Amino acid sequence: MTMKALWITVLAVGTSLTGCSQKISMANMPSVVQNGLKTQFPNAVNLEWEKNGDMFEAEFDFTQQEYAALVDATGKVVAVKQEIDATQLPEPILQQIKTSHQDYTLDDVEKVERDGQVLYQVELQKTMREVKQVYTSAGASSSETFWD
């Protein structure tokens, strides 16, 4: 019994730590939201939905790359995030990183499109340290929050 109690505690703590987003099964997804995403990404696979406030966040694979998308309640795709290769980063950003974080290594690189503007999210690593940065395509630091 004590083991069970322990597990329940662990689970409870675990779920509370994931914050305000909660997983939603496909059957419980509003049709409008799903169809909004599907018309844009018809061949999405391994689709998983989470509810984030009044927005829905979808994680899926599309053309063999990892994607994430924010969809509002009317089915409009508000933002799309895709993993890209470090070599695909625009030159200004690469230069910027070399100067401001020269002894860091590039880890994850993501391209974010929101309201027609394109941003790049970069995770930089150094021993025991990790920095997350958002850049515009011109290489300037953006004030936008990092979309995890």
Partner 1 sequence: MKLLNHVTAYFAAILLVVLTAWATIFYYNMLDEIYDSIDDGLENQKILVMQKARQDSTVLQQKDFDEGYYKIRPIAPALGHQYKDRYQDTLMYMQNEKDYEPVRLLTTVFQQGGQYYEMRLITSMVEEDDLIEDLLYSLLWLYLGLLATLLLLNNILLKRIWKPFYTLVHRLRKFKLDGAQPFTSPKSKIEEFALLGQTVEKLLQKNLAVYQSQKIFIENASHELQTPLAISLNKLELLAESPNLQEKELEQIGGILQNLERLTRLNKSLLLLSKIENRQFPEEQVLQLNATVKTVLQDFEDQIAYKKITLTQELDDHCSLTMNPDLANMLVVNLVKNALVHNVQGGFIAVRLTGSTLTIENSGQAAGLDADQLFQRFYKGSSANTSTGLGLAIVKAICDLYGFTINYEHTQSHVLQVKFK
Binding residues for partner 1 (CB under 8 A)? 26-32, 34-36, 38-39, 42, 73-76
From residue 75, alpha-carbon distances to 63, 64, 99 in Å are 22, 24, 42
Q: What are phi and psi of 142, to 5 degrees?
A: -100, 155
The least CB distance from residue 28 to partner 1, in Å, is 6
H/E run at residue 8: helix 2-17
Q: What is the closest distance, in whole angstroms, from the C-beta atom of residue 147 to partner 1 in the complex?
A: 24
Nearer to partner 1 by C-beta: 30 or 92? 30
CB of 29 to partner 1, least distance (A): 6
Of 78 and 84, which has the nearer Cβ to partner 1? Answer: 78
Residue 25 CB, nearest distance to partner 1 (Å)?
10
Nearer CB in complex with partner 1: 26/128: 26
Between CA 90 and CA 126 the distance in angstroms is 22
Considering beta carbons, is residue 16 or 74 the nearer one to partner 1? 74
Minimum CB distance to partner 1, residue 78 (Å): 14
> Cα dihedral sign for 51, 86, 137, 118?
negative
State the burial class of residue 146 (Cβ atoms within 10 Å of its Cβ: 0-12, 13-18, 19+): middle
- Rounded to an integer, what is the distance from CA 61 to the centroid of its chain? 12
Residue closer to partner 1, measured from CB, 41 or 120: 41
Can you tell me the distance from the alpha carbon of 95 to that of 109, in angstroms, rounded to the nearest whole number?
15
